[in-house]
Amino acid sequence: MIKIVRNLALLTVITAAFAGCSSKEPEVKPEKYNPTFQCEQEGVQAPKWTCIPDVEGYYAGVGVAEKSAAGIAHMRRVALMNGRSDLAQQIETKVKDKMEGFTRATGNGSAETVDKVTTAVTKQVAQVNLKGSKAMDMWNAPSGAIYMLVTVPNENVNQAVKNAYKKTVDSSFKNDNALWQQFQSKQALESLEKEFPTN
């Protein structure tokens, strides 16, 4: 009888050991993602604006000029020109997106008319010479290249958009009664002000 009890006890211990081994799987620790929140250019830390140009109340772009034997004055002009080009592309995209949203939101059902208005306004705003744009900051990279932060006040662009929209409607669509009435409605003007605020 003692042998049977001992065998049962031994069997219980062995069974518990196997059960314990099979239920315990190795713990897999997930890799921790630690973002650095730093901007790097040419393998070194750089001002954040060189990666993400963002200035409150302004449209902002970055212009880069490679090191040149023509000197720093030439490099600044090139960086400013490239920064303005970056600004123009950003503004054109934002204006197009906002104008499409605005013209659809104000109740116009004709996609053709919406596209005509959007295209006309976008072209006129693209022709704006970025009046008021200026260099806000500059950083020298290890290679000798310069990075330039170029900005233009939101208000300048927004006013140009509103003027272009009004001019487009006045000249091209005055005979389209539905669009003309829509433009003149208080709701449309309020919506336009929300999309392109000016003081």
Widest Cα–Cα separation across the chain: 111
Q: How high is the mean pLDDT of the chain?
A: 75
How many degrees, rounded to 5, is the angle at CA 170 between CA 169 and CA 173? 50
The answer to whether residue 11 sits within a structural domain is no
- pLDDT of the residue at 94: 78
Confidence of residue 191 (pLDDT cuts 50, 70, 90): low
Cβ proximity of 96 and 195 under 8 Å? no
Q: Is residue 179 domain-resident?
A: yes
Q: In the chain, how many domains are there?
A: 1
pLDDT tens, position by position, 16-38: 665 555 555 666 666 676 666 68
Residue 76 belongs to a domain with what CATH number? 3.10.129
pLDDT of 175 over the 60 cut: no
Look up the domain containing 108 and give its range: 40-195
Residue 181 lies inside a defined structural domain of this protein: yes
Q: Say if 102 falls within a structural domain.
A: yes
Q: State pTM to two decimals.
A: 0.63
Residue 141 lies in a domain: yes
pLDDT above 70 (res 185): no
Whether 10 maps to a domain, the answer reads no
Residue 24 lies in a domain: no
* Percent of the chain surpassing pLDDT 90: 30
Between the alpha carbon of residue 179 and those of residues 44, 126, 153, 176, 193, the distances in Å are 54, 23, 30, 6, 18
Asked if the structure places residue 5 within a domain, the reply is no
